[in-house]
Structure 1
Amino acid sequence: MPDDPSQVSDLEKNRILVDWLEYQLRQAKNRVRELEVQEAQERRQRERARAERSWKIQPQRAGRPAMLHRGGCTLAAGANGLINREEALIALEEPDIEACDVCRPETGLLSG
């Protein structure tokens, strides 16, 4: 590139502009990826927090009674969806639903 900017051809100016715009596009794409990762992490945190404030009912199977779990209990295999506090209180009163011995869902229910 010449020392005098007035000696730069239109072609060279446009190549420089293209390089600059490609750099800006890479920066913008990187920022979008960062924000997508951040948004996904925040969504997972919100889902975990919601699960911890909720409960699940694991269906009865193989002669075992149905089980009430905290929403985040990993032992709640086969449990679909989360239920609220009122529904969990009702479930605890059912004779064919037991509370999980590991996550102790009644602790959060009966003290609330």
Structure 2
Amino acid sequence: MSELPPDLPRLRTLETWLQLTLEQVRQHIVIAEQQEAQQQRAVPPPPPDWVVQLGVGHDAHPVAVHVGGCGTAGKRARPISRQEAIRALTEGVEACGLCRPDSELGIL
């Protein structure tokens, strides 16, 4: 037994309503796709000015200071301020030999 009306006029009315509803859903899909595409095109945030690379282990200590965006900093790099970068370098943390944060900071 069907839940649809048995007569043609009501079936035609239901068909019209379903077509209109489907069109509204399709319009919302287009809008959602446009918004998603726009978000994917969004510009990523700039890298931090300075990062510290941490060693491996539970109590990972700073291993090297890098200029932000340096590819050798690796996945264990954390953003730091200019003052923290200067302090780390003056306290003996190694400066990256590739991006030379010590030169950028004026510490030689």
Q: Provide the TM-score with structure 1 as the length reference.
A: 0.61
Structure 1's unaligned 5+ residue stretches are 1-7
| Runs of 5+ consecutive residues of structure 2 not aligned to the other structure | 1-7, 57-61
Change (3 A) 1:18 1:94: same
> What is the rounded CA distance, in whole Å, between the counterparts of 1:21 and 1:13 in structure 2?
12
Give how far 1:105 is off: 2.8
User: 1:19-57 CA deviation, whole Å, 9 max, x = no partner?
Assistant: 222122122123223323433543x612xx1x2x33221
In the alignment, what sits opposite 2:73?
76
Root mean square deviation of aligned Cα: 2.9
Structure (1/2) with the larger strand percentage: 2
Letter of the aligned partner of 2:25 in structure 1?
L
Kept after mapping to 1: 8 A contact 2:53/2:78: no
- What is the match of residue 87 of structure 1? 84
| 1:1-112 equivalent positions in 2, closer than 5 A | 9-42=9-42, 45-46=44-45, 49=46, 51=47, 53-60=48-55, 66-95=63-92, 97-106=93-102, 108-110=104-106
In 1, Cα distance between the equivalents of 2:24 and 2:64?
55
SS in 1 for 2:44: helix
Runs of 4+ deviating beyond 3 Å: 106-110
Matches of 2:16 and 2:65, distance apart in 1: 65
Give the Cα–Cα distance (whole angstroms) in 2 for the partners of residues 13 and 83 of structure 1.
65
Q: Which has the higher helix share?
A: 1
Amino acid at match of 1:13: T
